[in-house]
């Protein structure tokens, strides 16, 4: 009996011991979990924050790319027999809403770039099929050795999308050449560092090639370019070919437009001149100009002979900015031979009435305030022009004239407001009764007097008190 009782006691004691050990283990596990949570989790989350942000950006970018890919394939299916899909390209340009795809014409092996992006709400031309045909005909008529061709352009009305097709340049743009990067990379991964300043020979050759392309467009009636930067210059075998001229017809501004608008006064031709100055600075310094006009410290980075004087000529301190033709005649470009231009004569564009109408739409869309200076009013310089005011109109005179005009307009507006703010006249007094024996002919004409009074008020005349002849 005692042995049985002892056995039962040992069993109960063992069970209690096991339960106690289990409770202790559970308690220790909870303590370790709590310590790990509060001691290590915030540190791991802090370390993973940049990774999470990068993944979120990639996810958002991929979703946008997928939508663009759907639009691309839908467009290709709806235009079957025209192009075939080859593959997608990363966002290689600075315009983030622009998507890049490789396509080919059927039964051809040449790769083409198809860009798809949303139509601009400020598009100066009607977004319809007639404008599409006219612009396409205009671009196909361009023939110049220093201008990049536009193979096709569609204004997709149903989706409000712009589709452009151009040849694919495997070596990329002038900007890729400056920074020594492959064009087939995302734009945020290409231009973060410092580029390589180009030698003087390339500066002169490439600069004059771009200028000649702009002069040709101006001679053919193009209002302006509006998007001059190194990313819109295709480089092939030491030949620069200007692209991006279609943006002016589609309502897309350059990223320099907000910066330079204060200096160009909405004159888009002068904006082209200042944008070309930014391009020459990037080519000569290897970095982007971070302000509208370079200062002396920034100009010291341009060590190539003659470049500093050229930039001082373009970014004139007195605001007397040259035209594109003026810049091409600067001494910096003297002696540069353009062999392709000597061999190939650019084709003149025969403007149709529809083309002239498109040009008018583009000009009106920009609403230029003033015309650019004539090239004959500007003299070429061979030395530094910083601080020189010879042969220019002082800013004080022009500003005083503008102030006088502004004051005159304010006075006119004030007079107009004064006239329009006069309260309506009171109703005419009741006609006097005829019980006093006076006839109706002796009663004054209230309507005619009131009309005369109103006409005098509108003319701004001072009213004088007139005695009533009846008194």
| Residue among 215, 270, 254, 210 at smallest CA distance from 234 | 210
Residue 410 class from Cβ within 10 Å (0-12 exposed, 13-18 middle, 19+ buried)?
Answer: exposed
Q: What's residue 455's pLDDT?
A: 52
User: How many whole angstroms separate alpha carbon 112 and alpha carbon 105?
Assistant: 8
Within 10 angstroms of residue 207's Cβ, the number of other Cβ atoms is 25
Q: Which residues are paired to 233 by β-bridges?
A: 242
Within 10 angstroms of residue 170's Cβ, the number of other Cβ atoms is 9
The residues, any chain, with a CB within 8 Å of residue 463's CB and separated by 6 or more, are: 453, 456, 457
Q: What's residue 220's pLDDT?
A: 94
Report residue 276 as tokens. 């070309």
Q: What's residue 1's pLDDT?
A: 58
Q: Which residues of the chain have pLDDT under 50?
A: 37-41, 43-44, 367-424, 429-448, 453-454, 457-471
Q: Which residues of 83-108 are buried (b: 16+ CB within 10 A; e: fewer)?
A: bebeeebbbbbebeebbbbbbbeeee
């Amino acid at each position: 009996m005692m042995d049985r009782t002892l056995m039962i006691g040992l069993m109960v004691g063992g069970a209690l011991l096991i339960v106690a050990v289990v409770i202790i283990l559970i308690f220790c596990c909870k303590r370790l979990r709590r310590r790990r949570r509060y001691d290590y989790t915030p540190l791991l989350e802090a370390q993973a924050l940049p990774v999470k942000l990068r993944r979120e950006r990639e996810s958002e970018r991929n979703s946008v790319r997928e939508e663009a890919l759907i639009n691309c394939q839908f467009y290709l299916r709806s235009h079957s027999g025209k192009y075939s899909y080859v593959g997608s390209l990363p966002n290689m340009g600075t315009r983030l809403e622009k998507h890049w795809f490789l396509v080919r014409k059927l039964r051809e092996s040449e790769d083409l770039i198809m860009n798809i992006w949303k139509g601009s709400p400020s598009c100066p031309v009607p977004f319809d099929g007639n404008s599409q045909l006219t612009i396409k005909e205009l671009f196909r008529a361009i023939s110049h050795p220093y201008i990049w061709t536009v193979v096709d352009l569609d204004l997709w009305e149903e989706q409000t999308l712009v589709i452009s097709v151009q040849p694919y340049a495997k070596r990329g743009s002038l900007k890729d050449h400056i920074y020594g990067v492959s064009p087939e990379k995302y734009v945020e991964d290409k231009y973060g560092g410092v580029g390589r300043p180009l030698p003087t020979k390339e500066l002169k050759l490439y600069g004059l090639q771009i200028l000649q392309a702009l002069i040709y467009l101006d001679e053919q009636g193009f209002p302006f370019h509006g998007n001059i930067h190194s990313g819109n210059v295709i480089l092939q075998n030491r030949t620069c070919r200007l692209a991006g001229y279609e943006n002016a017809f589609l309502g897309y501004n350059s990223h320099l437009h907000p910066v330079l608008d204060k200096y160009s006064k909405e004159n888009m031709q002068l904006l082209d001149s200042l944008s070309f100055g930014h391009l020459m600075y990037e080519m000569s310094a290897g970095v982007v100009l971070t302000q509208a006009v370079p200062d002396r410290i920034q100009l010291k980075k341009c060590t190539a002979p003659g470049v500093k004087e050229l930039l001082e000529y373009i970014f004139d301190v007195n605001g007397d900015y040259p035209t594109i033709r003026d810049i091409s005649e600067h001494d910096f470009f003297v002696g540069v031979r353009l062999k392709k231009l000597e061999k190939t004569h650019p084709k003149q564009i025969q403007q149709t009435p529809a083309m002239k109408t498109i040009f008018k739409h583009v000009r009106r869309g920009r609403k230029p305030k003033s015309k650019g200076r004539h090239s004959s009013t500007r003299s070429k310089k061979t030395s530094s022009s910083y601080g020189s005011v010879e042969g220019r109109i002082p800013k004080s005179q022009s500003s005083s004239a503008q102030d006088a005009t502004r004051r005159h307009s304010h006075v006119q507006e004030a007079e107009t407001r004064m006239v329009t703010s006069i309260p309506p006249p009171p109703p005419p007094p009741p006609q006097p009764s005829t019980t006093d024996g006076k006839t109706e002919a002796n009663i004054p004409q209230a309507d005619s007097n009131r009309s005369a009074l109103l006409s005098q008020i509108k003319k701004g005349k001072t009213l004088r008190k007139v005695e009533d002849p009846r008194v």
